[in-house]
Amino acid sequence: MSLKSHLIDCYRIASFPARKWNFAKLKQAGQVPIYSMFYHRIADKHPNPWSMSRAEFEQQISWLQQKFDIVDLEECQRRIRSGSNRIPTVSITFDDGYAENCDYAIPMLIERKIPITYFVTTHNTFDQVPFQHDVDLGQPLATNTMDELKEIARSEFIEIGAHTRTHPDLGKIHDEARLIDEVITSSRELEAVVEQKIRYFAFPFGQRENLNAAAFKLLEQEGFLGACTTINRWNEIGGDPFQIARVHGDPSFARIRNWLSFSAELDKQPHFDY
């Protein structure tokens, strides 16, 4: 364990009484918040900041199964909208569409009957083009093929979601035609390939500066059920069920246990105002 992970564990343990008291208050009031997590690539080769080893991923999933009710995004939204929740709840999502997820992560999740939403970028998957952030690292990693996406979509535990056409920073796009193409047209093309209604969208990068109010409005108008960000926070009961904040499935297990142990840190960042 690294020194940083050790210090995070020490902090979590030292603050356990306060966390336990805070959770008891939330539970009694029916206000236990909802977590959503996002991963990118589960593989043992070519590690990078958006990859996780198989062993680390399995460790996190096993812990989540012990501590949380793992549900799909629709059930998360239902609990947010209901105004009352006393069950620690989490949903699991993936962004981008890496081929190596089909080698281990997806089969393992299906075997455990864990629902996930799998967000893919159409240009990279349809045209088999590596992501620019991988090219910049000198590691042009394989993306899912259309046949893999079709196979994934056939699982009762996996829902395919949209993640734009070219993975741009939507916060910088103000041209309406391009925004429609990246957000809506690419999603409809994805629907045609996987033969499944695309109901959810995830913003690339997903921080507040990468979000776009016009894109939120387009998604609502087109009948999407929700849009996911990467604003590192939980989702309050009775809050906005359409905008779903997500926590990064960081390779540091210590960090995940800290964040998902109802740390008040995850209630400090405001949602995006659209």
DSSP conformation class of 182: I
pTM of structure: 0.96
Over the stretch 62-71, which tens digit does the pLDDT of each residue have? 999 999 999 9
Pairing of strands 41-42, 51-52: parallel
Q: Which of 273, 266, 261, 253 is nearest to 53 (CA)?
A: 253
Task: Work out the number of other CB atoms within 10 angstroms of the CB of residue 246.
Answer: 25
pLDDT band at 1 (very low <50, low <70, confident <90, very high): low
Q: Would you list the domain boundaries of the chain?
A: 3-267
pLDDT band at 263 (very low <50, low <70, confident <90, very high): confident
Helix H or strand E segment including 137:
none
Phi-psi region at 216: left, alpha or beta (left = phi > 0; alpha = psi -120 to 50): alpha
Of all residues in the chain, the percent with pLDDT exceeding 70 is 100
What's the CATH number of domain 3-267, 3.40.47.10, 3.40.50.11740, 2.60.40.1180, 3.20.20.370? 3.20.20.370
Residues 103-121 have a mean pLDDT of 98
Over the stretch 43-78, which tens digit does the pLDDT of each residue have? 999 999 999 999 999 999 999 999 999 999 999 999
DSSP conformation class of 87: S
Report CA 12 to chain centroid distance, whole Å.
Answer: 23
Q: Which pair of tokens denotes residue 139? A: 């590691």
Over the stretch 198-254, which tens digit does the pLDDT of each residue have? 999 999 999 999 999 999 999 999 999 999 999 999 999 999 999 999 999 988 899
Pairing of strands 243-244, 247-248: unpaired
